[in-house]
Structure 1
Amino acid sequence: MRTSKWFRLVWIVPAALVGLAAVVLVAQGLRTLPGVQSFLAEYPGESAVPAGAPVGFPAWLAWQHFLSSFFLLLIIRSGWQVRTTTRPTANWTRNNTGLIRTRNPPAKISLTLWFHLSLDALWVLNGLVFYVLIFATGQWLRLVPQSWDVFPNALSAGLQYASLNWPTENGWINYNSLQLLAYFVTVFLAAPLAVITGLRMSGAWPKNAAAFNRAYPLQLARAIHFPVMLYFVFFIIVHVTLVFSTGLLRNLNHMYGGSDSESWVGFWIFGASVVVMAAAWFAARPLFLRSIAALSGSVTR
């Protein structure tokens, strides 16, 4: 039984490679058609830069990018553990003292769920700061589509990516339309959905609001929350792959080095951030989490 399971998993990789090769061949074949060539000429893959849109990436955006990635990585890890762990190694109970005090005894939750919820709170706080800053500095103009031609341009960019003939990369000034739609969906749709559904599933949600709970049932939140997590996993994989394959040094300098050059500054800062993430991934174990969780509650095996 176990051998059969692993045999099926082994075939996922070659099947995916065959599928990708088929997509590339089809895309390259489509680009030889005169109608498709005319479409690509009319819609090169990016919309015009909105008037007043800022150029480049400020230092605060680099920090926001790192913190968001850092928290999201651990949120996905802990969320998957919450979903798949049947017998937690430790539990956490909030101290019913201080500013947070309830009549009923605090509920006991797994240490993994405590870690997941704590990371969620930090991620939401970081996201609120991000929203304030992008609207205060005009960076939102680079994340919100301003014209309907973003859709045919996104289709054009997707076809260029699929045929391995990359669209023009000039993210320091303007994202291509496929990037723009992906970032818009991630920032303004997927992130709020993750927060709203996660809040509905948490103990902070009011259980006595019967009418509101019927309008927004727990089952609906659960049905949305997990696919949103899968979206973030897919987005991260595609995003990192394209960053590495469409001009590694320049892309990393955009986000981490604060310049449009091809120096190694951004690469080394990115490398340091990866080390920090790897260390946090290793440290996210009950052995290390117990002492932190004990600061706000009692931890039991």
Structure 2
Amino acid sequence: MEHKAPGGAKPPQRAGTKTWVRAGAAVVAIVAVVLLAKWLRSLDPLQDFLSTYPGHVELPENAPTGLPAWLGWQHFLNAFFIVLIIRSGIAVRTTARPKAFWTPKKRGKNPSKKISLDLWFHQTLDVLWLVNGVVFTVLLFVTNQWMRIVPTSWEVIPNAVSAGLQYASLDWPTEDGWVNYNSLQVLAYFLTVFIAAPLAIVSGARMSEWWPKNAQGLNRIYPVEAARAIHFPVMIYFVGFVVIHVFLVFATGALRNLNHMYAAQSSDGWLGFWIFVGSVVTTAAAWLLARPLFLTPIASLFGKVSSR
């Protein structure tokens, strides 16, 4: 006999049960995708497709080979800022009663607006990430590294489909990131650098305290609701990108990939790994220290910090 709660309603399902159901559904979906991809690869038309489009597009003749040293510290800074931006963004979104507030130094006759210390930290990180992004973009084009992450042929699309099919079937495409990324990587990096990042910037700027509140015409063209509808999904995209990126770095030759990313070397040595470990420790320490006790002295240099 089915047990019912008072009033005839069914008792609420336990959170743990829902979690297991969702996890089970995710496992079933992954297995189904793998089996479907393997079946597709067994078909003659798909085998011809994979032969025609192996998963990568040849780079232009003047494209650089290898990764420069500046990309190493850019990898660290980008990861450092993105992780802390996500942390502070979640705090801004979920904290109902902030423990500390920040007020900028008064300039002119208009009163300064008070914001939460979490929001000050989030916006400060945004500015630092933006400055770092400008440096990254300039170096990208000065050194011609842009050719490695900007599609230069429409063939990138079928090759990306090919690479995706190879990943899904667990027979992964050959990795040689030192020379050339596969087309799925190219599209992912292009989307991250030239689409997701600008969307995060323009939506974040609209929601920030620096946006001109009295510009009625501008605000009518670009309402804050539109910015909010963009900003959070972009953050979710960055979370997904980071998780998948880190997984593939370790799953496709960790030492070689970490040497590419952090040590500017094409080898299987341990230098890149230890630099990566240092960057993770630094980022984890910053995550733990990002609280009012440690943020207050820094924020006080630029304004007033108070408890209300």
Would the TM-score normalized by the shorter structure come out above 0.5? yes
Which residue does 1:22 correspond to in 2? 32
Unpaired segments of 5 or more residues in structure 1? none
Deviation, structure 1 residue 205: 0.8
Q: Alpha carbons of 1:2 and 1:123: their partners in 2 closer, same or farther (altered >3 Å)? A: farther
Q: Alpha carbons of 1:9 and 1:300: their partners in 2 closer, same or farther (altered >3 Å)? A: farther
Q: Normalising to structure 1: TM-score of the pair?
A: 0.96
Which residue identity is paired with 1:92? W
Once residues 102 and 38 of structure 1 are traced to their aligned partners in structure 2, the CA distance between those partners, rounded to angstroms, is 70
Q: Alpha carbons of 1:214 and 1:38: their partners in 2 closer, same or farther (altered >3 Å)? A: same
Q: Normalising to structure 2: TM-score of the pair?
A: 0.94
Which residue identity is paired with 1:249? L
Q: CA RMSD in A?
A: 1.3
Which residue does 2:5 correspond to in 1? none
Q: Alpha carbons of 1:11 and 1:294: their partners in 2 closer, same or farther (altered >3 Å)? A: farther
The answer to whether the aligner puts 1:65 opposite 2:75 as a matched pair is: yes
Which residue does 2:116 correspond to in 1? 110
The answer to whether the aligner puts 1:241 opposite 2:273 as a matched pair is: no
Listed as ranges, the matches of 1:42-191 within 5 Å are 42-96=52-106, 101-191=107-197
- Residue 51 of structure 1 aligns to a residue whose secondary structure is coil
Which residue identity is paired with 1:86? A
- Residue 14 of structure 2 aligns to a residue whose secondary structure is helix
Which residue does 1:231 correspond to in 2? 237
Once residues 106 and 136 of structure 1 are traced to their aligned partners in structure 2, the CA distance between those partners, rounded to angstroms, is 41
Which residue does 1:292 correspond to in 2? 298
The structure 2 residue matched to 1:4, chosen from 14, 35, 57, is 14
Deviation, structure 1 residue 11: 3.3
Deviation, structure 1 residue 81: 1.0
Unpaired segments of 5 or more residues in structure 2? 1-10
Aligned length: 297
- Residue 11 of structure 1 aligns to a residue whose secondary structure is helix
Deviation, structure 1 residue 87: 0.8
Once residues 138 and 55 of structure 1 are traced to their aligned partners in structure 2, the CA distance between those partners, rounded to angstroms, is 10
Which residue identity is paired with 2:92? V
Deviation, structure 1 residue 296: 1.1
Once residues 2 and 286 of structure 1 are traced to their aligned partners in structure 2, the CA distance between those partners, rounded to angstroms, is 38
Deviation, structure 1 residue 209: 1.5
Cα deviation, 1:276-300, whole Å, max 9, x if unaligned, reads: 1111111111221112111111111
- Residue 298 of structure 1 aligns to a residue whose secondary structure is strand
Which residue does 2:204 correspond to in 1? 198
Deviation, structure 1 residue 10: 3.9
Instruction: Specify the structure having the higher radius of gyration (Cα).
Output: 2
Once residues 108 and 276 of structure 2 are traced to their aligned partners in structure 1, the CA distance between those partners, rounded to angstroms, is 44
Once residues 304 and 135 of structure 2 are traced to their aligned partners in structure 1, the CA distance between those partners, rounded to angstroms, is 31
Which residue does 1:274 correspond to in 2? 280
Which residue identity is paired with 2:73? W
- Residue 151 of structure 2 aligns to a residue whose secondary structure is coil
Deviation, structure 1 residue 5: 3.1
Once residues 137 and 282 of structure 2 are traced to their aligned partners in structure 1, the CA distance between those partners, rounded to angstroms, is 25
The answer to whether the aligner puts 1:215 opposite 2:215 as a matched pair is: no
Q: Alpha carbons of 1:235 and 1:102: their partners in 2 closer, same or farther (altered >3 Å)? A: farther
Once residues 252 and 12 of structure 2 are traced to their aligned partners in structure 1, the CA distance between those partners, rounded to angstroms, is 40
Which residue identity is paired with 1:209? A
- Residue 205 of structure 1 aligns to a residue whose secondary structure is coil
- Residue 18 of structure 2 aligns to a residue whose secondary structure is helix
